[in-house]
Structure 1
Amino acid sequence: MHLETLLTYISLTIIGLLPIMNPPAAATVLLGLSKGREKNYIVSQAKTTGIYLFIALCLTFFIGASILELFSISIPSLRLGGGIIIVAIGFNMLFPRQESSSTSLGQDSIALVPLTIPSLCGPGSMAMIISLAAQIATNEDHVSMFSVYGGVVVGLGLVTLIANFTLTMAYPLLKALGQNGINAFTRIMGFLLICMGVQFFTLGIEEIVLEIHQLL
């Protein structure tokens, strides 16, 4: 195993993925959807999200491109779909519906959707990971391939740990802000999520337009 190659790809994975993933934004989604919940629920959702996230990132890295190709899904289409979902989540956070206490205190899970997909492992993260996998596949140095793939997987694991830690810090923030602070914070982050979703949507439109223009 080439230690230098291993460390290089660990660093590249973390540096390239963390800004796109934006764990604090996912933590705000967890806060917004956990109003009225106990600490155990929030912590359990954070831990479960960590498991789902690592699995989703590894699946995206190893077979993401094949899945998209199997269903004829392009990266722009992935951005469009993810943008629509993020806008819907942001809209619900900005204009929350009145729910009964029994519904509010239910045990439904939010770990897979929306925390893992599309908040953490969204269109941007998937596009970056699939691009990295495609670049690695062209590498002809088969001797160091184990170090390359090992570095990426370790990097994905470290990114997952950072995201998991960020989500677990949501409960102390919840206690510090109080219910009124959380309500205001949730609406602000809902608006920002809508902006992020629209950005994903417009990027997808731009990429589709460019693809059409290149075909003409």
Structure 2
Amino acid sequence: MTELLSFAATVFVGFFAIMNPIANTPIFLGLTHGIEPAEKRKIAIQSNFLAFVIVSLFCLLGHVIFSLFGITLPAFRIAGGILVFLIGKDMLSGNNSELHTPSVEDNQRSLDHPHVSIAISPLAVPILGGPGTIATAMNFATGKGIPEVIICITVFGVLCGISCLFFLSGERFLHYIGESAVKVISRMMGLILAVIGTQLVIQGVYGASKLNL
């Protein structure tokens, strides 16, 4: 039980850092500026639900995906670790990662095409359930038992709920803590992600050294 609680805490910190609902809130507010409150609430709920479904599928189908493409867990940990490290490095530098955050041009294209809901793109993918989040989820869930997979999905669901609350109360929250606090928190999350990415690479290299290829 203690090991599962420790694993759940690690997963929560990892997901919170990669999702970073505090830093994503200004993006959500910018994308939904001028939209009616009821529609804004709908977009917040839909985007987080879609992200939850996408990441949960990767958690559940990790073994199938690895077998289908002939991928080993150490190789995925090394690649995923590098990806997470790069996102963390950009956040630590105070920059938006191109791997995790859509560009201004991408955001504008989403707004210029109302038939494509911004709940799907760019909010659900890549902001909430992008490559970094998927890599983190699969690294946590793949190669583990059923309890660990359930914990990963449950914790991510909790984070999606937290993210949705941040989106819905974003204006009041940002007014309360200020823009400077958001930048400080984002850099702290970046440091955590850089460490997680480094740890994943170490685990991947160690696991690869034991493979008989």
Pick the TM interval, shorter chain. Answer: 0.5 to 0.7
Matched, 1:195 2:195: yes
**Aligned-pair CA distance for 1:203:** 1.3
Partner of 1:31: 22
Partner of 1:7: none
Partner of 1:5: none
**Aligned-pair CA distance for 1:57:** 2.8
C-alpha separation in 1, matches of 2:144 and 2:6: 11
CA change 1:110–1:156 in 2 (3 A) is same
CA change 1:66–1:161 in 2 (3 A) is closer
Partner of 1:96: 95
Partners of 2:18 and 2:189 within 8 A in 1: no
2:11 to 13, 21, 39: 21
Q: Secondary structure at the match of 2:133?
A: helix
Matched, 1:51 2:49: no
Partner of 2:35: none
For residues 47-196 of structure 1, what are the structure 2 equivalents within 5 Å?
Answer: 47-58=49-60, 60=61, 64-93=62-91, 94-96=93-95, 107=118, 108-113=121-126, 115-116=128-129, 117-119=131-133, 121-127=136-142, 130-132=143-145, 158-171=154-167, 172=169, 174-196=174-196
CA change 1:115–1:197 in 2 (3 A) is farther
Partner of 2:99: none
Partners of 1:27 and 1:166 within 8 A in 2: no
Partners of 1:90 and 1:190 within 8 A in 2: yes
TM-score by length of 1: 0.62
Partners of 1:26 and 1:167 within 8 A in 2: no
Specify every segment of 5 or more residues in structure 2 that has no aligned partner in the other structure, as ranges. 33-39, 97-101, 112-117
Identity across matched positions, percent:
16
Specify every segment of 5 or more residues in structure 1 that has no aligned partner in the other structure, as ranges. 1-10, 134-150
- The code of the aligned residue for 2:198 comes to V
CA change 1:155–1:56 in 2 (3 A) is same
C-alpha separation in 2, matches of 1:210 and 1:186: 36
Please identify, of 38-47 and 159-168, the stretch whose mean Cα deviation from structure 2 is larger. 38-47
C-alpha separation in 2, matches of 1:27 and 1:91: 15
